[in-house]
Every structure is written in C-alpha cells, then in structure tokens.
A and B are shown apart, each in its own frame.
Chain A
Amino acid sequence: MKKRAEISANESISDSFEGLPTLSELATLTLRHWFFVLMVTAIFSGAFYIKSRFFATIRYEAKAIIMPKMSRSGSSMEMLLGQLGNLGATSGFLSGVNANTELQQFYRLLTTRQMAESAVEQEKSLKEIGDPIKFKDEESLKNNVISTTQNSLAVKIDSPVLELRFVANSPDLALVGVEAYLKALQFYLTNNIITQSKGAEVFIQERLADLNKSLDQVEVRLSNIRTGKISPATLGRSVQSEVKRTETEFTRLNQLLDLLTKQYELAKIESKRNDIMFLIIDHPIKPISPVGVPIGKFLFLGAFFGFILSMFFLVLRERGSLSKLFGV
C-alpha cells in the first residue's frame, strides 16, 4: 500500500507527462535493436506466410443473384410462408424482420432447414462429392449444408435482389450447392402453388355442384307453380308474385353459375401452370480461384504484428519490471 501511495504521489498529473516512452526514443535505438525488430518482423511474417500458403483451408465460392418476380401477388407468398410455421421461426429471422417484402420472405424460405434438406434431395451429387468433406451420414450432410462454420449457404438481401453464395472446399461442390438451392426453391414454390390451385379447383367444383342442385330445385319449383302442381293456398301469396320471386332467384343463381364456371376455368389453368416465381439475374458458374484472405495480406499482417510486438517489447524491457510500470 505504501509503495502504491508513493508511486501515486510521484506520478501526479503534471509529472506523468515527463520521461515518457515516446517516439523520440526510437532515435536512441542502435543498429542492433533495429536488427532485432527486423528479425522478429521477419519471423512473424514467415510464420504467417507458411500458415496461409501451406496449412490454410482452401475454399471456393459460387454465387447467384435472384430477383423475386413482382407480378406475383405477395399474399400468395405469405400463405406459403404460413405453411412453414415454426420452420421460419427456427431460422431466427422472424424476430428480426419487420416488413413483409418479398425479398425478406425469400430470405426466410432459403434459410430454413427444410430448404437445406430439399437442396440435398434435389442434388444427389451433393452426397457424392464427399471428398474432401466426409459426411458421416445423411443428418451430418444436412447439417453441413446449413452450417454456419463449415460449407454453407449464405443469403444476403441487397434490395431489390437477393444474393446467394455457397462456400465449399471444392469448386464443383460450391457450384452444385448454389444450383441445388435454386432448384429446391423453385421446386418448393411451384409445388406449393400447384397444391394451392388444385385446392381452389376442388373447392369451386364442389360449390358448382351445390349451385347446380339449387338451380334444379328452383327450376322444378317454378314449373310446378306454372303447371299448378303447387296450389296457391300452400304458397301463402299470389301466384304472380311467387313466380316473379322464383324467376329472380333463378336468374341470380344462373349469374352465379356463370361466374363460378369462369373461376373454375381459371383455377384449372392455374393448377396446370408451372410458373417461375423468381428470375435468376446472375447464374452460378464454377469458381476458378479460392476465396479467403489472400496470402499477401496475411503476410503483411504477420509483418505488422511482428513489428509492433518487437517495438513494445523493446520499450517494456527498457522500463524494467512490469509491476513497477503498472504502479499498482
């Protein structure tokens, strides 16, 4: 405590600016010191070079840029995404996105585990290109495809487009990865749109059957009134007014039938259409050079690190023990 108090007293505010290890001290360094600095810098840069040149994991990256087709109504996409349910939530995106733009919806779709599984299913070669990545089983392969630390798909929104990049240990796998995802996306969207339209087609068909039945009943009732099979007493009103009412209903049901028939035709067309939900602006190509920090930069980092470390070391050694330096 006493020592601390002494140091504290010695190192008062005004004194603390005196006798500092400032840059001027560099002038007092001898040739031998500079040799030391050079040696440390060279050793560090050498170590960094060897690491990046011979022991670094080489990775390749294939990319594709897609743009959602805006003519498609957003509501249908929302319905599709509603089907994802918890899958969307597991992707961790529900909390972060506030606007329901199509880009964000695509992002959500692409970052689900279901999409990763579908990609593996779509592109069987993902399983075959096992070297240098060795998948133990199907599950580890799926994990790897969406993993954040290994070979994975990364999706970024750069409005109005979406960029997909797949990083892998080989150029082939990188390309296959992106293509698999694009196919999986297309498959998913198309499959679900057709399912939806098929659902609509069946629904309208059932309504049409009901309508035809009602129409038949009204027609029979009308002919019965006209032919006198139903007595005026049971009608509870005049025959003319009942005929008029039934005729009006008949006309309304006929109009409804026309409308539903048109809807039915459209639903049938929709259910058979294999529509494109997004445009691929930049198609993926096989990467020719690896990605990552270039060797030159790595070398520079090592040299810089070595230089700074050696300079600090010189000053620390010159100033004596660390405890004295810290003053505590």
Chain B
Amino acid sequence: MADQDAHSRPVFSIDRMDSKKLLKIFIFVSLAAILTAVFSGQLFELARGLGNNSPKFRMDEDYFWGVLWALGLGAVIYALPLGRVEKIWLLIFWAFRCVITLGLMLFYEDFYSSLDSYGYLKRGILAQVDSGNFGGAGTQHLDQLLILTNHYLPIHSSYHAIKVIFSFIGLGAVFSIWRASVLFFEKENFRFFLILGFLPSLTFWSSVLGKDPVNFLGGSLYILGVAYFFKNKKNFAFFWILMGTAIACWVRIWSVALFFLPFLLAPIFREFFNRKIPIKSLIIPTLVILLGGFYLDSWLGPIIESFGREYLESLNRMSAGWDGGSTQDLIFNSWGAVLRFLPLGVFTALFRPLPFDVNNAFGILAGLENFILLLFTIRAVFKSSSLAWRDPSVLWCSSFILIWGLFYALVSYHNLGSAFRFHLQVLPFQLLLILFLNRQKSKILRVAELKL
C-alpha cells in the first residue's frame, strides 16, 4: 500500500520547492561539478602516465572513450527491466567495477609490462602484427570478436572502452549466478549477491580484456541452466546449459568436458554417499592414491612409463606452457609422480595462492581471499549433515569443483599468477557449494524430487 502511495506521488518534489531550496541545490551541484571536473582531469593524466606499457599512444584520449562507455552502460543498467532493489545494487556494483577497471587496473597495467590484454589490443583492435605466440583457437576467436566489436560499436579503438565492455559482461555473469542462486535456494539472499558483486578477485578478473570474462559468463549461464534443471524447468535448463557451454567452449574448448563430466561423476558420488560411508573415510582413498603413487614408481613404473612416456612429456610441455611472473618448477619423471602430485595440485588450483605464497599486492589480496574461502569451506564441510552430501546440487557442484581442480592442477601449480585468473572459473561453484552445505536440513533437495 505504501509502495502504491509512493508511485502515486509526483515523481520529484522539485515541484514543491521554493527558490531557497533550489539555490542550495544549485550550489551543491556546482561544487560537485567542479570537483568531478578536477578529478576527471587528474584521472586522464593518470591514465596517460600509467599507460606507457600499452601498445597504444595517447592513453588519455583512449581513456575518454572508456569513461563514456562506463557512463553509457550505467544508463543501460538503469533502463533494464529488472527488480528495483536488484537494479540499484547492480548500479552500485557497476560503479565499483568502474573504479577497478578504470582506476586500480591502471596501476596493474603500469606494473606489468607484458599482459595478454595487450596482445588482444594489438591484434584485435590495432590490427598490428604480433611477433609473439598467437595461442590456441580461443585466442583467435577473441581476436575476431574484438575486430567485429571495434568495427560495429563506437569504441574508437579504445582499450579502456573495450575493457569496460568486458567488465559489463562480467557483471552480466554475476547477475546470472545471482538469479541461479535465487532458483536454487528459492529466496533472494542479498548477502550472496553482495559477495558476488564486491569480491575483489572476482570483480578484477572478470573485468580484464581477455578470455576470463567470456568464460566466466559461459560458466554462469551454465549454472543458471543447472538451477533451472533442479527446478524441473527442462526447456530453460537445456537452453542456458547449451548457451553457457557454447560461450565457454568458444574461448576454452575443454570447457565442454568440465561442464558435462560432473553429470557423469555426480551419480557415482551419489552411490558412494547413499551407502552412508562417512565423509571422513575419504582420507583412506586419498592415502591409497598416495601410496599407490609410490608403488607405481617402484613396481609398475617402468611398464607404464614405457607406454605413457610420450603423454608424460606432453604433460610437462603443457605445464611449462603457462610461464609467467610467478612460475614454480614442475617436471614429472614418472606417472607415479603425477599421481602423488595431484592432491597438492588440486588444492593449489582451488585455494592457492595462500598468504605469503606470492608477495606482491595482488598476491597478498588473493591470498587473504583464498584463506577466508578455505576456512569457510572447511567449516561448511565439517558442519554439513550427511544428508547434504546426497543432495544432487551438492553432488553436481562438488563434482564440478573436483574435475576442475584435476584439469587445472598442473597449470595452476606451475604458475600461481595464472592460478589467480583461472580461479575465477571455479569461484562461483565454491561459493555455491558452501551455501548448499550450509542449507537447513528441511531445504535439502532430494533426488526423488527431480523429474529426470
């Protein structure tokens, strides 16, 4: 009723304002305008000064288009047909993203003289010959997308503008995950929305010019599809799952395996948990794997290695392919060594860098964030009821996390710098798993409720 009254009110009480109040507003607006003008002027100077590593000159002009796009996309959020509360929060998240994309990221770009983003800028926007490696098909797809974007959208070859557009894609992904969570939990958990919107690493890595925001969007649409699946809305589910998989595969082809293997693995887990084997008994299989690793080395090693030497070498090559600033040496001489490494590798992919792993500003921040995530995960696992582990959503989510961890174990361990970025793909799943495990017993989803 009160809400209806608010609608029936005149749009703005300016109609009832006298000249004194108007004068006050005028003075306030003028001061705000002066401050904004001075601040933006300084910001342009900063963008020029800190943009020396970029393949482009005159980064202040480039920055202008970035700011304009940020404002324009803010207006687009305002015009979207969304819930009022959601919309306001999205606008706040967008402002936060703009501060990171057009502010903090300048220092990051100044610090690292060579970034993947610059390669995309060179090839996709500036159409320059790049003497470096072109990467796989995903890189080329993104190059083509950038060429088209630069051609059809008025971005004027601006690096900052395209970065802002990618950040908007990241915000779209955050919104998808939020809507998925509403479907999963049948309520609007705004705390989760705030975590998604303000998590530093998630905001940062889903705002860079690169594959990460696109892959993140694919993953988030996939989550939305799975949420619809658990709500027994098959048409929506298949549409979003396929859409998400297609987008993610477009930049990282192996996403198809990551997205569909959990559906195969989850039933195995379900059987495991249905036999009421306590979660703590997982320690024994882990020990078996570790000991098996040692035995493989001494007994079966030579036989297996004679078959698998070639694959082992490709594994080493793949791992070494992701060199960077925070590289750790990782060379496998046997398959046993690979097996022994996996628990550490999976842990590294999911929770590292931890504090003191990487001692720079980004490393410390990511370390703290991962440490908190680890604590919450441990708490959720130990506080969860055994019933929760039979919940299909938990099975699906934990299967995805495990498979993802196995996929990225080598790369993430070899280069903790890349681990920052790659972690973005699995972070929403980890957050969702914590929420699933914390779910009240009465809310736990049962397999029987699903109409498969």
Contact = CB atoms under 8 A, between A and B. Distances in A.
Given A16-B84, A20-B84, A308 B75 contact: yes
A282 B447 CA distance: 72
B49 A327 contact: no
A165 B85 contact: no
B3 A326 contact: no
Contacts of B58: 61, 291-292
Chain B interface main SS type: helix
Contact of A327 (B3, B26, B85, B126): B85
A327 B110 CA distance: 39
Contact of B78 (A50, A55, A293, A312): A312
Contacts of A147: 49
A36 B14 contact: yes
Contacts of A314: 11-12
Nearest to A46: B33
A52 B86 CA distance: 37
Interface stretch (B38-46, B208-216, B337-345, B433-441): B38-46
Nearest to B179: A13
B7 A19 contact: yes
Sorting the interface of chain A by its residue count into under 10, 10 to 19, 20 to 34 or 35 or more gives 35 or more
Contacts of A57: 45
A101 interface: yes
Sorting the interface of chain B by its residue count into under 10, 10 to 19, 20 to 34 or 35 or more gives 35 or more
B398 to A, nearest CB: 27
Contact of A28 (B11, B114, B132): B11
Interface stretch (B61-69, B270-278, B307-315, B371-379): B61-69
B79 A22 contact: yes
Contacts of B52: 148, 152, 154
Contact of A157 (B55, B60, B63): B55
A23 B79 contact: yes
Interface string A23-65: 1010011101100100110011011101110011100010000
Contacts of A228: none
Interface stretch (A130-138, A179-187, A195-203, A315-323): A315-323
B88 interface: yes
Given A47-B33, A293-B60, A17 B83 contact: yes
Interface in B9-34: 9-15, 25-26, 29-30, 33-34
Nearest to B55: A156
A304 B68 contact: yes
Interface in B147-199: 182, 187-188, 190, 194
Contact of B84 (A21, A103, A152, A301): A21
A5 B80 CA distance: 25
A165 B48 CA distance: 13
A139 interface: no
Given A51-B37, A148-B110, A99 B131 contact: yes
Given A8-B188, A48-B37, A314-B12, A20 B26 contact: no
A21 B87 contact: yes
Contact of B113 (A32, A95, A300): A95
Contacts of B10: 30
Contact of B190 (A52, A148, A327): A327
B15 A308 contact: no
A232 interface: no
A44 B33 contact: yes
Contacts of A70: none
B113 A93 contact: yes
B85 A33 contact: no
B288 interface: no
B84 A19 contact: yes
Pick from B45, B61, B84, B131 the residue with the most CB of A within 10 Å. Answer: B84
Nearest to B130: A159
A308 B71 contact: yes
A14 to B, nearest CB: 10
B107 to A, nearest CB: 11
B15 A306 contact: no
Nearest to A156: B55
A158 interface: yes
A103 B71 contact: no
Contacts of B13: 317
Contacts of B81: 17, 20, 22
A293 B45 CA distance: 10
Contacts of A159: 128-131
Given A16-B86, A19-B3, A98-B132, A43 B61 contact: no
Given A33-B12, A292-B61, A293-B64, 12 more contacts: A12-B188, A16-B85, A20-B82, A21-B78, A29-B11, A51-B37, A103-B131, A158-B126, A297-B64, A300-B68, A325-B84, A325-B88
Interface of A: 4, 7-8, 11-13, 15-17, 19-23, 25, 28-30, 32-33, 36, 39-40, 43-44, 46-48, 50-52, 55-57, 61, 92-93, 95-99, 101, 103-104, 147-150, 152, 154, 156-160, 163, 165, 167, 291-293, 297-298, 300-302, 304-306, 308, 311-312, 314-315, 317-320, 325-328
Closest 4 CB pairs of A and B: A96-B114, A16-B83, A149-B49, A47-B33
26 contacts: A8-B190, A16-B86, A19-B7, A20-B81, A20-B84, A30-B15, A32-B14, A39-B29, A43-B26, A43-B29, A43-B30, A43-B33, A47-B33, A48-B37, A51-B37, A93-B114, A95-B114, A147-B49, A150-B49, A297-B64, A308-B71, A312-B78, A318-B9, A325-B85, A325-B88, A326-B85
